[in-house]
Homo-oligomer: A and B are copies of this chain.
Protein backbone atom coordinates (compact mmCIF):
# COMPACT_ATOMS: atom_id res chain seq x y z
CA UNK A 1 0.00 0.00 0.00
CA UNK A 2 1.23 3.44 -0.85
CA UNK A 3 0.51 6.01 1.79
CA UNK A 4 1.45 9.52 0.96
CA UNK A 5 1.06 12.58 3.11
CA UNK A 6 -1.59 15.19 2.45
CA UNK A 7 -0.29 17.10 -0.57
CA UNK A 8 -0.86 20.66 -1.66
CA UNK A 9 -3.76 20.75 -4.13
CA UNK A 10 -1.48 21.68 -6.99
CA UNK A 11 1.22 19.10 -6.32
CA UNK A 12 -1.53 16.50 -6.13
CA UNK A 13 -2.44 17.15 -9.78
CA UNK A 14 1.02 15.97 -10.78
CA UNK A 15 1.38 12.96 -8.48
CA UNK A 16 2.85 9.99 -10.27
CA UNK A 17 3.90 7.34 -7.77
CA UNK A 18 0.94 5.70 -6.16
CA UNK A 19 -1.54 6.81 -8.79
CA UNK A 20 -2.82 4.32 -11.35
CA UNK A 21 -1.71 6.52 -14.21
CA UNK A 22 1.53 4.63 -14.99
CA UNK A 23 -0.33 1.38 -15.30
CA UNK A 24 -3.02 2.87 -17.54
CA UNK A 25 -0.73 4.75 -19.92
CA UNK A 26 -0.62 2.10 -22.67
CA UNK A 27 -4.39 1.77 -22.68
CA UNK A 28 -4.85 5.54 -22.74
CA UNK A 29 -2.38 5.64 -25.61
CA UNK A 30 -4.63 3.23 -27.45
CA UNK A 31 -7.63 5.48 -26.88
CA UNK A 32 -5.56 8.39 -28.16
CA UNK A 33 -4.82 6.48 -31.36
CA UNK A 34 -8.46 5.57 -31.83
CA UNK A 35 -9.33 9.24 -31.40
CA UNK A 36 -6.86 10.26 -34.06
CA UNK A 37 -8.42 7.73 -36.41
CA UNK A 38 -11.86 9.11 -35.59
CA UNK A 39 -10.73 12.67 -36.36
CA UNK A 40 -9.12 11.54 -39.60
CA UNK A 41 -12.23 9.64 -40.66
CA UNK A 42 -14.38 12.65 -39.88
CA UNK A 43 -12.21 15.07 -41.83
CA UNK A 44 -12.30 12.79 -44.86
CA UNK A 45 -8.65 11.96 -44.56
CA UNK A 46 -9.67 8.32 -44.53
CA UNK A 47 -11.80 6.66 -47.19
CA UNK A 48 -14.47 5.65 -44.63
CA UNK A 49 -16.71 7.74 -42.41
CA UNK A 50 -17.42 6.43 -38.97
CA UNK A 51 -18.67 9.42 -37.05
CA UNK A 52 -22.00 9.21 -35.33
CA UNK A 53 -23.02 12.89 -35.51
CA UNK A 54 -24.17 12.86 -31.96
CA UNK A 55 -23.05 12.55 -28.39
CA UNK A 56 -26.51 11.69 -27.08
CA UNK A 57 -26.27 7.89 -26.90
CA UNK A 58 -22.91 8.28 -25.20
CA UNK A 59 -24.38 10.53 -22.58
CA UNK A 60 -27.01 7.93 -21.89
CA UNK A 61 -24.63 5.02 -21.65
CA UNK A 62 -21.87 7.03 -19.98
CA UNK A 63 -24.02 8.25 -17.16
CA UNK A 64 -25.64 4.86 -16.66
CA UNK A 65 -22.16 3.40 -16.54
CA UNK A 66 -21.07 5.97 -13.98
CA UNK A 67 -23.93 4.92 -11.74
CA UNK A 68 -23.09 1.23 -12.05
CA UNK A 69 -19.41 1.90 -11.61
CA UNK A 70 -20.15 4.01 -8.57
CA UNK A 71 -22.03 1.18 -6.90
CA UNK A 72 -19.38 -1.34 -7.82
CA UNK A 73 -16.62 0.87 -6.46
CA UNK A 74 -18.58 1.17 -3.30
CA UNK A 75 -18.71 -2.59 -2.95
CA UNK A 76 -14.97 -2.89 -3.63
CA UNK A 77 -14.14 -0.16 -1.19
CA UNK A 78 -16.30 -1.81 1.46
CA UNK A 79 -14.33 -5.03 1.05
CA UNK A 80 -11.06 -3.13 1.38
CA UNK A 81 -12.20 -1.21 4.43
CA UNK A 82 -13.66 -4.30 6.06
CA UNK A 83 -10.31 -6.03 5.56
CA UNK A 84 -8.56 -3.08 7.22
CA UNK A 85 -11.07 -3.12 10.00
CA UNK A 86 -10.40 -6.80 10.61
CA UNK A 87 -6.67 -6.18 10.88
CA UNK A 88 -7.39 -3.32 13.24
CA UNK A 89 -9.48 -5.73 15.28
CA UNK A 90 -6.54 -8.14 15.24
CA UNK A 91 -4.44 -5.47 16.93
CA UNK A 92 -7.21 -4.73 19.46
CA UNK A 93 -7.70 -8.37 20.37
CA UNK A 94 -3.95 -8.89 20.63
CA UNK A 95 -3.69 -6.01 23.05
CA UNK A 96 -6.69 -7.16 25.04
CA UNK A 97 -5.35 -10.71 25.31
CA UNK A 98 -1.98 -9.34 26.38
CA UNK A 99 -3.63 -7.26 29.06
CA UNK A 100 -5.69 -10.24 30.17
CA UNK A 101 -2.70 -12.54 30.37
CA UNK A 102 -0.85 -9.96 32.44
CA UNK A 103 -3.70 -9.00 34.79
CA UNK A 104 -6.33 -11.75 35.01
CA UNK A 105 -4.42 -14.64 36.63
CA UNK A 106 -5.48 -14.77 40.25
CA UNK A 107 -1.96 -15.40 41.48
CA UNK A 108 1.52 -14.50 40.37
CA UNK A 109 2.75 -16.54 37.39
CA UNK A 110 6.51 -16.81 36.82
CA UNK A 111 7.72 -14.79 33.85
CA UNK A 112 8.69 -17.83 31.75
CA UNK A 113 5.10 -19.10 31.78
CA UNK A 114 4.19 -16.23 29.53
CA UNK A 115 6.84 -16.99 26.93
CA UNK A 116 4.87 -19.40 24.76
CA UNK A 117 1.65 -17.44 25.06
CA UNK A 118 3.15 -14.22 23.80
CA UNK A 119 5.18 -16.04 21.17
CA UNK A 120 2.03 -17.57 19.73
CA UNK A 121 0.16 -14.28 19.93
CA UNK A 122 3.01 -12.40 18.23
CA UNK A 123 3.30 -15.02 15.48
CA UNK A 124 -0.40 -14.94 14.69
CA UNK A 125 -0.47 -11.87 12.40
CA UNK A 126 2.46 -13.30 10.44
CA UNK A 127 0.78 -16.68 10.07
CA UNK A 128 -2.39 -14.99 8.92
CA UNK A 129 -0.54 -12.79 6.44
CA UNK A 130 1.19 -15.75 4.86
CA UNK A 131 -2.07 -17.67 4.63
CA UNK A 132 -3.86 -14.75 2.96
CA UNK A 133 -1.04 -14.11 0.49
CA UNK A 134 -0.32 -17.81 0.00
CA UNK A 135 3.33 -17.26 0.83
CA UNK A 136 5.69 -19.51 2.80
CA UNK A 137 5.33 -18.90 6.57
CA UNK A 138 8.20 -21.18 7.61
CA UNK A 139 10.83 -18.50 8.31
CA UNK A 140 8.60 -16.09 10.11
CA UNK A 141 7.11 -18.77 12.32
CA UNK A 142 10.43 -20.49 13.06
CA UNK A 143 11.85 -17.18 14.25
CA UNK A 144 9.03 -16.65 16.72
CA UNK A 145 7.78 -20.00 17.99
CA UNK A 146 9.40 -22.55 20.28
CA UNK A 147 10.30 -25.71 18.35
CA UNK A 148 7.47 -28.08 19.41
CA UNK A 149 4.79 -25.50 18.75
CA UNK A 150 6.42 -24.62 15.46
CA UNK A 151 6.29 -28.25 14.34
CA UNK A 152 2.66 -28.54 15.24
CA UNK A 153 1.66 -25.30 13.52
CA UNK A 154 3.63 -25.96 10.35
CA UNK A 155 1.97 -29.37 10.03
CA UNK A 156 -1.54 -27.95 10.23
CA UNK A 157 -3.58 -26.73 7.28
CA UNK A 158 -5.03 -23.62 8.93
CA UNK A 159 -2.09 -22.23 10.83
CA UNK A 160 -3.67 -19.21 12.54
CA UNK A 161 -6.50 -21.41 13.86
CA UNK A 162 -3.96 -23.83 15.28
CA UNK A 163 -2.19 -20.97 17.05
CA UNK A 164 -5.54 -19.94 18.50
CA UNK A 165 -6.16 -23.45 19.75
CA UNK A 166 -2.78 -23.34 21.44
CA UNK A 167 -3.72 -20.09 23.20
CA UNK A 168 -6.86 -21.81 24.44
CA UNK A 169 -4.82 -24.73 25.73
CA UNK A 170 -2.50 -22.36 27.57
CA UNK A 171 -5.49 -20.86 29.35
CA UNK A 172 -6.84 -24.34 30.09
CA UNK A 173 -3.52 -25.48 31.58
CA UNK A 174 -3.38 -22.56 33.98
CA UNK A 175 -7.09 -22.84 34.74
CA UNK A 176 -6.72 -26.47 35.72
CA UNK A 177 -3.70 -25.51 37.83
CA UNK A 178 -5.90 -22.96 39.59
CA UNK A 179 -4.00 -19.87 38.47
CA UNK A 180 -6.82 -18.59 36.29
CA UNK A 181 -10.27 -18.79 37.81
CA UNK A 182 -13.34 -19.86 35.79
CA UNK A 183 -14.60 -16.31 35.33
CA UNK A 184 -11.31 -15.22 33.82
CA UNK A 185 -11.45 -18.20 31.47
CA UNK A 186 -14.65 -16.73 30.09
CA UNK A 187 -12.98 -13.37 29.55
CA UNK A 188 -10.15 -15.03 27.62
CA UNK A 189 -12.67 -17.07 25.69
CA UNK A 190 -14.51 -13.95 24.57
CA UNK A 191 -11.38 -12.45 23.04
CA UNK A 192 -10.33 -15.74 21.50
CA UNK A 193 -13.72 -15.80 19.81
CA UNK A 194 -13.06 -12.26 18.60
CA UNK A 195 -9.71 -13.31 17.18
CA UNK A 196 -11.38 -16.28 15.54
CA UNK A 197 -13.86 -13.93 13.86
CA UNK A 198 -10.98 -11.84 12.53
CA UNK A 199 -9.27 -14.86 11.01
CA UNK A 200 -12.50 -16.19 9.54
CA UNK A 201 -13.41 -12.76 8.20
CA UNK A 202 -10.10 -12.45 6.35
CA UNK A 203 -10.50 -15.94 4.92
CA UNK A 204 -13.97 -15.03 3.73
CA UNK A 205 -12.76 -11.95 1.87
CA UNK A 206 -9.84 -13.73 0.26
CA UNK A 207 -11.85 -16.77 -0.82
CA UNK A 208 -14.89 -14.94 -2.19
CA UNK A 209 -14.18 -12.23 -4.73
CA UNK A 210 -16.90 -10.04 -6.14
CA UNK A 211 -19.05 -12.20 -8.42
CA UNK A 212 -16.98 -12.73 -11.55
CA UNK A 213 -19.86 -12.01 -13.92
CA UNK A 214 -20.28 -8.63 -12.30
CA UNK A 215 -16.64 -7.61 -12.64
CA UNK A 216 -16.38 -8.88 -16.18
CA UNK A 217 -19.50 -7.09 -17.29
CA UNK A 218 -18.45 -3.74 -15.86
CA UNK A 219 -14.95 -4.16 -17.26
CA UNK A 220 -16.24 -4.94 -20.73
CA UNK A 221 -18.72 -2.10 -20.73
CA UNK A 222 -16.15 0.44 -19.63
CA UNK A 223 -13.66 -0.54 -22.32
CA UNK A 224 -16.21 -0.72 -25.12
CA UNK A 225 -17.56 2.64 -24.07
CA UNK A 226 -14.13 4.27 -24.01
CA UNK A 227 -13.11 2.78 -27.32
CA UNK A 228 -16.22 3.96 -29.17
CA UNK A 229 -16.50 7.35 -27.52
CA UNK A 230 -14.18 9.19 -29.96
CA UNK A 231 -16.56 8.49 -32.82
CA UNK A 232 -19.36 10.08 -30.87
CA UNK A 233 -17.37 13.13 -29.86
CA UNK A 234 -15.67 13.97 -33.13
CA UNK A 235 -18.62 15.63 -34.77
CA UNK A 236 -19.17 18.08 -31.92
CA UNK A 237 -15.66 18.89 -30.77
CA UNK A 238 -13.51 17.94 -33.77
CA UNK A 239 -9.85 18.44 -33.15
CA UNK A 240 -10.30 18.37 -29.38
CA UNK A 241 -11.59 14.80 -29.52
CA UNK A 242 -8.31 13.13 -28.49
CA UNK A 243 -7.98 15.32 -25.39
CA UNK A 244 -11.50 14.64 -24.26
CA UNK A 245 -11.66 11.01 -25.11
CA UNK A 246 -8.46 10.36 -23.18
CA UNK A 247 -9.73 12.38 -20.26
CA UNK A 248 -13.04 10.51 -20.07
CA UNK A 249 -11.27 7.19 -20.56
CA UNK A 250 -8.88 8.05 -17.74
CA UNK A 251 -11.78 8.78 -15.41
CA UNK A 252 -13.62 5.56 -16.15
CA UNK A 253 -10.65 3.22 -16.52
CA UNK A 254 -8.93 4.53 -13.42
CA UNK A 255 -12.10 3.96 -11.41
CA UNK A 256 -12.36 0.47 -12.72
CA UNK A 257 -8.68 -0.25 -12.14
CA UNK A 258 -8.72 1.06 -8.58
CA UNK A 259 -11.85 -0.93 -7.83
CA UNK A 260 -10.22 -4.15 -8.98
CA UNK A 261 -7.24 -3.46 -6.76
CA UNK A 262 -9.37 -2.66 -3.74
CA UNK A 263 -11.63 -5.65 -4.14
CA UNK A 264 -8.70 -7.96 -3.36
CA UNK A 265 -7.25 -6.09 -0.40
CA UNK A 266 -4.72 -8.70 0.64
CA UNK A 267 -2.72 -8.64 -2.60
CA UNK A 268 0.41 -6.64 -3.26
CA UNK A 269 -0.93 -4.00 -5.63
CA UNK A 270 -0.17 -0.38 -4.87
CA UNK A 271 -3.50 0.15 -3.15
CA UNK A 272 -3.66 -3.09 -1.23
CA UNK A 273 -3.21 -3.24 2.50
CA UNK A 274 0.25 -3.01 4.03
CA UNK A 275 0.05 -6.41 5.72
CA UNK A 276 3.81 -6.54 6.36
CA UNK A 277 3.73 -3.27 8.20
CA UNK A 278 0.58 -4.13 10.12
CA UNK A 279 1.92 -7.52 11.24
CA UNK A 280 5.00 -5.88 12.67
CA UNK A 281 3.02 -3.08 14.32
CA UNK A 282 0.73 -5.62 15.97
CA UNK A 283 3.71 -7.51 17.30
CA UNK A 284 5.33 -4.27 18.41
CA UNK A 285 2.21 -3.20 20.30
CA UNK A 286 2.33 -6.47 22.20
CA UNK A 287 6.00 -5.94 23.01
CA UNK A 288 5.35 -2.40 24.16
CA UNK A 289 2.83 -3.61 26.74
CA UNK A 290 5.45 -6.04 28.06
CA UNK A 291 7.98 -3.22 28.26
CA UNK A 292 10.19 -4.65 25.50
CA UNK A 293 12.15 -2.64 22.97
CA UNK A 294 10.69 -1.50 19.64
CA UNK A 295 10.85 -3.58 16.49
CA UNK A 296 12.20 -2.02 13.32
CA UNK A 297 9.45 -1.44 10.78
CA UNK A 298 9.83 -3.19 7.41
CA UNK A 299 11.79 -1.13 4.90
CA UNK A 300 9.88 0.67 2.13
CA UNK A 301 11.39 -1.71 -0.42
CA UNK A 302 9.45 -4.65 0.94
CA UNK A 303 6.05 -3.04 0.59
CA UNK A 304 5.49 0.43 -0.76
CA UNK A 305 4.54 3.19 1.59
CA UNK A 306 5.87 6.67 1.35
CA UNK A 307 5.85 8.77 4.44
CA UNK A 308 7.81 11.72 3.06
Interface residues of A (CB under 8 A from B): 1-4, 6, 9, 12-13, 15, 18-20, 27, 52-71, 73-75, 77, 80-81, 84-85, 88-89, 91-92, 95-96, 98-100, 102-104, 106-107, 156-158, 161-162, 164-165, 168-169, 171-172, 175-176, 181-187, 189-193, 196-197, 199-201, 203-204, 207-209, 211-217, 219-221, 223-224, 233, 236-237, 240, 244, 247-248, 250-252, 254-255, 257-258, 260-262, 264, 267, 270-271, 273, 284-285, 288-289, 291, 294
Looking at the complex, which one of B27, B261, B284 makes contact with A157 (CB distance below 8 Å)? B284
A97 to chain B, nearest CB (A): 10
A206 CA / B264 CA spacing, docked (Å): 22
A282 to chain B, nearest CB (A): 10
Looking at the complex, which one of B184, B208, B223, B271 makes contact with A13 (CB distance below 8 Å)? B223
Closest to A55 in B: B56
Question: A236-B56, A254-B217, A264-B6 given as contacts; is B212 within 8 A of A271 (CB)?
Answer: yes
